[in-house]
């Protein structure tokens, strides 16, 4: 995307009254952010071009990457939401955002010592087994999850923090050191403009990003009215697996997780409970169909895949070509895109056709597998 167009995207999404859904409607109606801004000028105050240009300059000076939904590095899982952030601010290793095995860990801010320990232990073990932990860097369970992940892999484990503030605003302030460590070893993301302070209405919004990035959401301690249950609900709506750690019925912080289990969430006591659902092998390695070459520098022991058919640049885009890449064990969308040579739109159209014909089925919202004959 050209710089002028990016500045206009920043203008449009930061204009009062324009949210993600409205942003895409305006793009569809007027063909571009420029066209939308021209139409809106007579109706409402527009975030100025100069302010948007300054926002871009600030991002460059702080080594913050700005991704639009059209960028290759924009997370594919997130891009499929109808209210996906048009702009994502990224500090750290942006490649992690498309890592093929991620689990979000959420829970109570006023977590018990036992809850923090189990969150940290589960996150450590999952990271050791090539699963990237996603959380919100809040007090309590979020903090414990990030710390467990960072301590894995000889204290070089990656993790992803999704903020409800600007990507340059550590929150809570007590987590400033944690913020800096995540930025070094993993990645920090936010949809909010640089400098955005903590505001209550922003945290429920960021929860959809936490759930969308991951294959599933693990809840450790949550009261009945906990915001963590909102994240679990969003994950369920997105077709993701829900995991929950059980607790004492006498502890109010366990009422939400116990309720989730009653409603069908996967009872989780160890990382193996998660790994089994994610279809990991007995050696706890990522399934053999997933290529992790892109992440070798980040996850030093990520297995290579010799079984994926090499990409053929002259490949004809037929149903049979795409179908040949889909195995009974399953394959994720980013893997199909890399190996089919097809565009995102073409791939999704073919997937829909194959689903309607009963040749494939979708699991976890994102993994496609051939139907048994």
- For 300-340, the pLDDT digits (tens) are 433 333 333 333 333 334 445 777 778 776 777 767 776 77
The CATH class for the domain spanning 95-277 reads: alpha beta
Exposure letters 215-225 (e unless 16+ CB within 10 A, then b): bbbbbbbbbee
Among 176, 113, 186, 169, smallest CA distance to 144 is for 113
Give the pLDDT of residue 295. Answer: 41
Q: Let me know if the fold of 95-277 is the same as that of 308-370.
A: no
3.40.50.720, 1.10.10.10, 1.40.20.10, 1.20.120.1200: which CATH number matches 308-370? 1.10.10.10
Please give the model's pTM, rounded to 2 decimal places: 0.75
Give the pLDDT of residue 55. Answer: 96
DSSP 368: E
- Cβ–Cβ under 8 Å, residues 105 and 123: yes
Strand ranges inside the chain, DSSP E? 65-68, 87-92, 102-107, 132-135, 159-162, 187-190, 216-220, 241-245, 266-267, 331-332, 360-363, 367-370
Among 76, 82, 89, 97, smallest CA distance to 23 is for 82
Residues contacting residue 71 through CB under 8 Å, at least 6 positions apart: 1
Sign of CA dihedral 191, 193, 196, 200: negative
Give the pLDDT of residue 360. Answer: 81
- Domain edges within the chain: 1-61, 95-277, 308-370
Give the pLDDT of residue 338. Answer: 66
Which positions of the chain have pLDDT values less than 50?
Answer: 280-319, 373
């Amino acid at each position: 995307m050209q710089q002028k167009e990016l500045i206009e995207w920043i203008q449009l999404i930061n204009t009062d009254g324009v949210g993600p859904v409205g942003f895409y409607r305006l793009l569809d109606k007027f063909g571009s952010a420029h066209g939308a801004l021209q139409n809106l000028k007579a109706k409402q105050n527009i975030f100025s071009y100069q302010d948007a240009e300054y926002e871009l300059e600030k991002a460059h000076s702080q080594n913050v990457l700005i991704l639009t939904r059209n960028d290759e590095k924009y997370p594919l899982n997130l891009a499929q939401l109808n209210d996906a952030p048009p702009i994502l601010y990224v500090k750290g290793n942006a490649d992690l955002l498309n890592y093929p095995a991620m689990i979000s860990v959420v829970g109570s801010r006023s977590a018990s010592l036992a809850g923090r320990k189990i969150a940290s232990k589960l996150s450590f073990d999952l990271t050791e087994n090539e699963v990237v932990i996603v959380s919100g860097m809040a007090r309590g369970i979020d903090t414990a999850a990030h710390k467990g992940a960072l301590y894995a892999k000889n204290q070089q484990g990656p993790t992803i923090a999704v903020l409800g503030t600007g990507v340059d605003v550590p929150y809570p302030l007590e987590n400033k050191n944690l913020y800096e460590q995540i930025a070094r070893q993993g990645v920090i993301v936010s949809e909010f403009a640089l400098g955005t302070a903590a505001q209550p209405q922003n945290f429920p919004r960021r929860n959809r990003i936490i759930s969308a990035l991951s294959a599933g959401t693990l809840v450790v301690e949550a009261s009945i009215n906990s915001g963590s249950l909102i994240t679990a609900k969003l994950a369920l709506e997105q077709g993701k697996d829900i995991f929950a750690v059980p607790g004492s019925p006498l502890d109010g912080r366990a009422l939400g997780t116990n309720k989730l289990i009653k409603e069908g969430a996967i009872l989780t006591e160890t990382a193996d409970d998660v790994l089994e659902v994610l279809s990991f092998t007995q050696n706890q390695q990522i399934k053999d169909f997933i290529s992790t070459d892109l992440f070798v520098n980040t996850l030093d022991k990520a297995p290579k895949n010799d079984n994926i058919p090499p990409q053929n640049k002259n490949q004809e885009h037929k149903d049979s070509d795409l179908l040949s890449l889909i195995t009974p064990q399953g394959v994720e969308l980013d893997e199909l895109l890399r190996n089919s040579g097809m565009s995102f739109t073409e791939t999704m159209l073919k997937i829909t056709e194959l689903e309607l014909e009963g040749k494939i089925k979708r699991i976890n919202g994102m993994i496609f597998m051939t139907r048994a004959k």
